[in-house]
Structure 1
Amino acid sequence: MAICALGYLGVRSDKIDDWSDFAGHLLGMQKIDKGGKAVAFRMDDQAQRLLVSDEPGETLAFMGWEVEAKDDLQGYAGRLESAGVEVHLGTADLCDRRLVGAMIWFLDPMGNRVELFHAPMIALDPFVPGRPIDGFQTGPLGMGHAVLHVKDIDVMLPFYRDLLDFHVSDFGLEPYGLYFFHVNGRHHSFAMVGSGLEGFHHFMVEFRNLDDMAQGYDLALLDEGRVAYTMGRHTNDFMTSYYANSPSGFFVENGWGGRVIDPETWQPHQTHDGPSFWGHDRLYLEKDDPARLALQEMRLGAAARGRRAPPVAECPWLYGELTKHRK
């Protein structure tokens, strides 16, 4: 019994036109007209990865996590119900709207809607990006990762780790609590920010081509206020990325070159270098904001200690590409 990937995300927003431009033009997703008050987007051969519904709230509506086998849905339902969690079976109509074969759904301790599903629909026609890109790193790795603001990590951690089998990749305690979880080879498909807040922090999409991500950065810079974090590189998953302000106020990380781990041998551990080796300056905060200054100090400290990612050839994804072309 296992959850194997982040399959899709849903967002509540009455800014449908803004999302169409943001996800289609800036991110490069393919817009799928759902008719009525919703718009969906593709990232690959899966028929639907992001669904934006015309509803008030401007926040996360649901997270869809794929399971390896249909029987896993019953297994997780039994485990959750034994722990006192109310579990709902996805109706035929709901499965049709999500474009999946079967599903269950429930709420986590902070009220976030979690959907577990099996058999996502595969589109018959090829993926056509919204701008010229080579596509996204998806497949067995899922659509990317999702990150929540968390009021009480001590409540949320056992829910995702013990009930849903999310595996801790690493965690940091300064300048605030950060926990990262993997469900496949992607370093993390889920994370929690111990900000003391509630809601959606960001989701991440990973581009196959560095230039596609960086050209999106140029586009974002043309739109005043669109860039939330400058270009930078993370210390734990080695992702080079920038963060954009979405139409709904939360962030979307645009990344490239993320770390691929071996889940069978990976050991969870505490990190001490802060979130980034360099960059990722929080432009949405005032220059003298204590949080912004603390993160800047951590980046400069990591640099002073010579902390950096491994050489390029040790990056699992790129190393695989290099060795493939040598054959």
Structure 2
Amino acid sequence: MPSIVLFGRSGQIGWELQRTLAPLGRVVALGREDTDLMQAEEIRAALREVQPQLIVNAAAYTAVDQAESEPAAAMAVNGDAVAVMAAEAKRLDAIFVHFSTDYVFDGRAARPLTETDPVAPLNAYGRSKLAGEAAIRASGLIAYLILRTSWVYAARGRNILTTMQRLARGGDDIRAVNDQLGAPTWARLVAEVTAQVLVASRGGGDWAPLRDLGGTYHLAAAGECSWYDFVRAILAASPRPDGSVAHVAPISSHDYPSKAPRPAYSVLDTALLRSVFAVSLPHWRQGLDLCLDLPPRASILSSRPSRLAPAPVSPRVGG
């Protein structure tokens, strides 16, 4: 059974990946308490101890506004650490899967963005994620996947879904930007499609086909909406105890100042991923409905309980 090292086990995508990767091998899931991604030697030590055939990096510095004040920290985690992982993957002859972001684009497009469209990040977070992508490509690795996703949310942790559900229970005024467009993507969809891609790429017990199929792909829900549309949908499905629904007011980006500028349009074209790996990507609204209504083991790809059963996960290297 192949060994898999997963970085970022406590994040939105990493949490879901622990389940979806389990049928593919022995998963060693690492969190920040196990490996400090700002310390290159800790990354190397973790990987050299396990000697994995597959490395999956779901860890990231994701505080977009804070990154404007801490660009070096963002770059250390999203750029430098990824370079170390890629170098180790090459040394170990391992497959490397890394998650990137729609924020590598400037948002000026008027149609869904393809993998070959020019990149021009607007903020420090986007620049750090782009540096991670560049490090992988420069590493000499052949078998890798860079999966760009967008507007990721989950039923746990701190994200727009859980924040809006909390605000809906109170009496605070809610405002949401209506001039930024994207595709809200459930973390479970990202994890399940990632596993599906790896299964589709498995030949002769390993992932040798990825040496030909590897590269950069876009992985996001279908459709598009504004943050205002998304918040309205969340609130409509999260009524207060008395049955009322919290009100949300649409505002422009100019009326919602933030340290980091965001792309106005970051809808990702997923045709390449769907074509190469024969995967389907449901509409963002379907993902939200499933996230809010179905039990924890529900699978967005089937709308039925997932056949990807949970398996024991090694929580750290060593004991």
TM-score by length of 2: 0.31
Q: Point out the structure with the larger helix share.
A: 2
Q: Select the structure with the greater relative contact order (CA < 8 A; seq sep ≥ 6).
A: 2
Q: Point out the structure with the larger strand share.
A: 1
TM-score by length of 1: 0.30
